[in-house]
Structures are given as C-alpha cells and as structure tokens.
Chains A and B, each alone.
Chain A
Amino acid sequence: MAGETQTISEYIVHHLTNLTYGKLPAGFEREDGSIVADGGAWVMAHGGEEAAAMGFNAIHVDSMLWSVGLGIFFCWLFRGVAKKAEAGVPSGVLNLVEMIVEFVDSTVRDTFHGHNKLVAPLALTIFVWVFLMNLMDLIPVDLIPALLGLAGVHFQKIVPSTDPNITMGMAVGVFILMLYYSIKVKGFGFVKELTLNPFNHWVFIPVNLFMEVVGLLAKPFSLGLRLFGNMYAGEMIFILIAALFSAGLAWAVPAGLLQVGWAIFHILVITLQAFIFMVLTVVYLSMAHEDH
C-alpha cells in the first residue's frame, strides 16, 4: 500500500493498524465528518483513531480470523493424521506430524513431572499454533494487505502474534490454568506459598505476599509480551525494509538482500519463540503442580 501520496510514516502506521470492528461511543466524529448517534454504533473502524476510540468494545477482525483460521488449519492437519495414524510404516505428512508430536512429548516429559493429561496436548497446540501464527511473518508484508486492499479491505495485519491481544489472550489462558492447578494440587499450600515465601515468618506476610503476587503476575506478562515483542519487532523490521523499496531503484538491491537475510534469520526467531512459549507454559504449569 505504498502509494505515492503516502509518507513513510503513514505507510508504517497503516501496516500496524488492525482491521477493527467495534462500538464507537456516542458523539464521536467519524473520519467522514458524521457524528455517532446516541447509544454508540458498531462499525468497522476507519483508521487507528477510530479504533482507539472504540476502547475495549472492539475486536481485531484480521487477528481473530487469521488466528482462528490457523488454529483450524492446525486441527485439520493433525486430526487428519490422527485418523490415519496406525502402527504401520509412516510416510509423508504423518512423519512430520509424528516428529512434532514426539518432540513436544519429549520436551514435556523432560520438564513436567506431574501427571496431567492436559499438558502435552496443550503444549502441542501452543507450539504449532504459535509457530503457524509467527510463520505469517515470512509472507511479504505488502502481499496480502495489497490484495485485500484491491478487494476493498483497507487494513490488514496478517501476523496474529504481533497483536498483544492474541499473545496475551493465550498467556492469560495459561495463567488461569496455572491458578487452577495451583489451587487444585496445593490447596491451602498455595496460600502458604504466597505468604510464607521467601521469609518464613508471620511478620513478613505482607512483604512475601507482595513479592509473590508480583512474581506470579509477571509470568503471564513475560509469556505474552515476550512473544508479542519479538514478533512485533520482527514485523517492524520487515515493514522498514519494505519501505526501503519505495526509496528509489538504488535501494532495491540492498533492500532485497536485507529482506532475504532478515527472513532467513526470522525462520529461527519464529521457531524459537514458539518453542519458548511452549516450554515456559510447561514450566509454569509444572511449578503449579509442585507441592513443597
């Protein structure tokens, strides 16, 4: 969407704006000058300002669709394999899927020592899903937004994991599981852990509680924001490189080289980030299961 009339910063901002559907508050003046009537209105946002005005009552249609679409792709692919799976000689996609399952299984076995049927499938879902979402980063930044632009859709972020809602959504899901299992496994011990650690004396209970709660809350943030930060930065660099192409023919060759180099490096990053998200999830759940 690097039109002639666009400045570089407009181009970048445009690329970082989600396709948002939400409720505009009453009295908001829209881009085209119309005023939102009383009670608000559910509309597609035209630009970041309107999206910001929607506040919490909005949904990133592009993030949601890509994320759910990739999740369905994951389910379809793995369910197909699961149906065909048998003890015979594996081949083709069966090999790939079994390799991933084996890898996740051994990682979970190494890290998680409790008995929980949920953890391994959870880890598999997280790993593959996050990897697929990150993988969208390798598609040239302008390709799909430009195609959709031709179809009349003017904002599109195709990498769901560059949306903090997506990464934090998953992190909060993991956090809820952590709390659930902490309470289920440790019971009252969980309260003790929060209040009598690291200073085992009743005087220190407030201090302990503060430190432990901060530590606990840091976990979902570290999980979600690490993925978001890495992917957002990676996406940003792709956008900057893409912006270089508009700087004239002389920049085309170095920009192309940068693009290829960063993409190759990014293959490592997206796999690593998916892996880290998975491992941290397993580690946190493992900690929730450890009764002192």
Chain B
Amino acid sequence: MNINLTLIGQMIAFVCFVVFCMKYVWPPIVAAMQERADKIADGLAAADRASHDLELAQEKAVERLKEAKEEAAGIVDAANKRGNQLVEEAKQAALVEAQRVKVSAQAEIELEANRAREQLRAQVAVLSLAGAEKILGATIDPKVHADMVEKLAAEL
C-alpha cells in the first residue's frame, strides 16, 4: 500500500485513454445516435403526414363517391324523364295518327255512302218508274214525271 510511481503511470494512462475516447470514441457514437434520433423523428413525422394524407384522400374519395352518386341519380332521372317524354310523344303521335286514320276512314266511308246513295238514288228513279209503270199499266213518260221522281229521290 505504498504510494509510488504507479500513481504517475496511472495518471498518464488516464490522460491517454480520455484523449483517445474524446477523439475517436465519443464523437462518432454520439453523432450516429443523434443521426438515428433525427431519422426516427423524421420517420415519425412522415408517418404522421402520411396518415393525414390518407385521411384527406379518404375524405376526397367519399366526396367523389357522393358526387358520382348524385350525378348518376341525375342521369337516371333525366333518362326516366326523357323516356316518359318519349312515351308521351309516341302516345300523342299515335293518337294523332289514329285520329287521322279515323278521319280518313270516315271520309272514305262517307264517300262510299254518298256514292252508294247516289247509285241508289239513280236506281230509285228507275225502279220507282218501273214500279209505277207496273201499277199503272202504262208507260210513264219519265220526262213528264221527272219532277215527281226527282222529289222522291231527294227524299231518300
């Protein structure tokens, strides 16, 4: 338990090790640790940002979806409207056509009827004359009784 040169030796060794540690050990380790800490902080910040971005994107997507749905609903509505309109138009057209057909048919019928009536009328004169001839047993001069026959025919 003597104090001797060991004391000096230990002091020299102490200085050497401390200097070595200060020059070659401490700075790189602390720098690496600091760098890692920064990296982790950056990573966490990036993760935060990413999750925020995701949230925004989700919100946007939901909005888009809503818009699309609305748009689709609008399109369907318009299509329905247009369909109804078409049906309506077709109906109208059909009615008009039917009317037209009806009218033309009626006109034809009338025409036919008139024609028949004319024919009938023409024949009524002859028939009535023939009938009258038979009744009277004599010929009737159509010219004499033309007035009467005409009147008769007009009554038909």
Contact = CB atoms under 8 A, between A and B. Distances in A.
Contacts of A121: 18, 21-22, 25-26
Interface residues of B, number: 34
A83 interface: yes
B31 to A, nearest CB: 8
Give the interface SS of chain B, mostly helix, strand, loop or mixed. Answer: helix
Nearest to A88: B36
B32 A85 contact: yes
A281 to B, nearest CB: 11
Interface in A54-87: 54-60, 63-64, 67-68, 71, 74-75, 78-79, 81-83, 85-87
B18 A125 contact: yes
Given A82-B28, A173-B11, A52 B2 contact: yes
Nearest to A119: B22
A125 B1 CA distance: 25
Contacts of B119: none
B34 to A, nearest CB: 9
Nearest to A68: B13
Contact of B6 (A16, A79, A97, A163): A163
Interface string B31-63: 111011011000000000000000000000000
Interface string B132-150: 0000000000000000000
A125 B6 contact: no
Interface in B1-21: 1-11, 13-18, 20-21
Contacts of A81: 29
A243 interface: no
B3 to A, nearest CB: 6
B14 A169 contact: yes
Interface of B: 1-11, 13-18, 20-22, 24-33, 35-36, 38-39
Given A64-B6, A125-B17, 4 more contacts: A55-B2, A58-B5, A78-B25, A173-B18
